[in-house]
Structure formats: C-alpha cells, structure tokens
Amino acid sequence: MHLAAYQIILITVYAFIAINDSLISNTLTQPAIAGMISGMIMGDLKTGLMVGGTLQLMRLGIAAFGGASVPDYFTGAVLGTAFAVISGNGAEYGIGLAVPVSLLMLQLDVVARFCNVFLLHRIDRAIDNMQVKRIPRLVLSGSFLWGLSRAIPILLMLLAGDAVVTTITDNTPEWLMTGLKTAGGVLPVVGVAILLRYLPTKHYIPYLLLGFFLAAYLQVPMLGVSIIGLVAAMLVFKRDSEKGTVATAAAGDFEGGYDGDE
C-alpha cells in the first residue's frame, strides 16, 4: 500500500493538534485514541485499535511528573499504525516498530521542552519590562513549537516511510521480521502485567481466572468476556454498596451524637 497525500496531511495535522491538546485534556494523545484515528485515516481501523490498545496498556502507570520525559507512545501509535498498514505485515509488526519509535521520540521531547524553556525566560523578561502585548505572542509561539515537535518528525517519517518501509520490508531477513512480530506479540503481555500491578488483583483472583478460562479454553470472544466482566463488576458494586448502606444504618442505631443528645 502507498500513502496518499491527504493521509500524510491529515495525520500530520492530527499530530499537531493532539500534542497541543495534551496540555489541556490529554485525550487525543492517548495511544488507543491515536491508533484509532490513525487507523481510520489509513483505512484500517482494526489494526489501529490493536496497535493503539497495546501501547495504551504499556502507558498505564507512566506519567511525566515534574516535567520528566517518558516514552512517547502517542507518536509510536501513530507511526506504528501507519507502517503496519503500509507494510501489510499486521499489527504485530506495527507494535514492534512503535516501541523504538517511542523511545526515539523521548529524546526529541527533551529538545522540545528546552525550546519552551527559552521562550518562558523571554516571557519572564517581558513581564519584568511590562511588555504585556508580547506575552500572548510568546505563549502562542510556545504552543506552535510544541505542536511542531511531533508534527515534523511524523511528517518526515511518513514522507520517507512510503518508499523506505516498503524497501526495508522487502529486504528484511526472515529471522528479523519474525523477531519483530514475536516482540509485538509479547508486548501486550507486558502491558497486561503493568495493568495488573496497579489494580487490586489479589482481591479478585476468581474473576481473573474465570476470564482466562473463558478466553483460553472455551474460546469465548473478547466481547463475550467483556460482557461477563461487566456483569461481575455490577454485582461487586452492588454488594459493596449494600455493605455501605448496612454499615451506615448500624451506626445510626447508637445513641449519642447530635441525634442522641436529648
């Protein structure tokens, strides 16, 4: 498959808007959303959801606190989806390619932050000199540079990717291609392990084993397992709510407090 000009433009514009949105809502840069939108633009929504969803699992529990830089799974999801569709090797290839791209963009993220620090010092100087009209222009300049920090690398990779990715795919040794697909198949396991690490898994081991049994041995589709999980969550929520109601009612039976003063 070859990239069309409108696909390159749409993905680049989306990257510019999404990275600026991360300063407000941090919605469009979620890997699952990035993979979905990139997949829609590329005409393969399923591959986009598979690549983005896998990277979303890897992103859980990772945040850029205090200005720290973390792997850019957003860019990885966008380019991983695009290259997976171009090469025709499936989501596993895109996932395996997205991880090194995310780590590479980690370094470029530091450069983008450095540029904004330079502008921030100029804003401070404008405030000291009471140059109020310069401040909005400098702030917008920072937003513009921040958007270009993702738009330019993605644009360059997409422009090179149409020919380069096809050439690399055709000339890549079978063992390396198999390795990338294997790595792409293992990475979802890593993401699920990270997710389980931050969830109260020990309290819900029976439900975890039930889901594994349904998917692995009974071959129940993911939608069916998800519906059963939703039912289990509703039952647990109802049980915990009833416990809270009983505990509140029991506490109200004791004399004292405001109601028992008389």
| Among candidate residues 212, 214, 209, the one with its CA nearest the CA of residue 224 | 214
Whether residue 31 is found in the same domain as residue 88: yes
- For residues 151 and 225, membership in a common domain is answered with no
Give the per-residue pLDDT at 126: 86
Q: Say if residue 76 is in the same domain as residue 157.
A: yes
pLDDT tens by residue, the chain, 262 residues: 677 889 999 999 999 999 888 878 778 889 999 999 999 999 889 999 999 988 888 777 665 554 556 778 888 899 889 988 887 777 888 888 887 777 777 767 777 777 777 888 888 888 888 888 888 888 888 888 888 888 888 898 888 865 565 566 567 677 766 776 666 556 566 666 766 777 777 888 888 889 889 988 988 887 888 899 899 989 988 888 887 776 666 655 555 444 444 4
CA distance 204 to 210: 10
One domain for residues 180 and 219 = no
118 domain-assigned? yes
Let me know if residue 84 belongs to a domain: yes
Tell whether 257 is covered by a domain.
no
Q: What is the CA radius of gyration of the chain?
A: 24
Query: Is 189 within the bounds of a domain?
Result: no
Domain boundary among 129, 154, 184: 184
**194: alpha, beta or left? (left if phi > 0; alpha if psi -120 to 50):** alpha
Residue 89 lies in a domain: yes
Q: What is the predicted pLDDT for the residue at 222? A: 79
Which of 185, 159, 10 shows the shortest CA–CA distance to 99? 185
Rounded to 5°, angle at Cα 112 from 106 and 117:
130
Domain boundary among 153, 184, 215: 184
Domain membership flag for residue 192:
no
**Do 114 and 207 reside in the same domain of the chain?**
no
Whole-angstrom distance, CA of residue 207 vs CA of residue 229: 8
Note the pTM of the prediction, 2 decimals.
Answer: 0.63
- State whether 65 and 177 are in the same domain: yes
| Those residues with Cβ within 8 angstroms of residue 249's Cβ, 6 or more apart along the chain or in another chain | none
Asked if the structure places residue 47 within a domain, the reply is yes
Q: Any idea which residue has 């989306």 for tokens?
A: 14
Q: How far apart are CA 113 and CA 53, in angstroms?
A: 27
Domain encompassing residue 152: 3-184
Q: How far apart are CA 237 and CA 233, in angstroms?
A: 6
Say how many domains are in the chain: 2
**CB contact at 8 A, 69 and 109:** yes
> With contact defined as beta carbons under 8 Å apart, do 94 and 31 qualify?
no
Residue 162 and residue 224 in one domain? no
Q: Is residue 224 part of a domain?
A: yes
169 and 211 both lie in a single domain = no
Cβ–Cβ contacts within 10 Å for residue 100, how many? Answer: 14
Residues 150 and 224 in one domain: no
Is-contact 35 81, C-beta < 8 A? yes
Residue 258: what pLDDT? 41
Clarify whether residues 175 and 146 are in a common domain: yes
Q: Are residues 152 and 239 in the same domain?
A: no
Do 204 and 178 lie in a common domain? no
Last residue of a domain, one of 184, 216, 234: 184
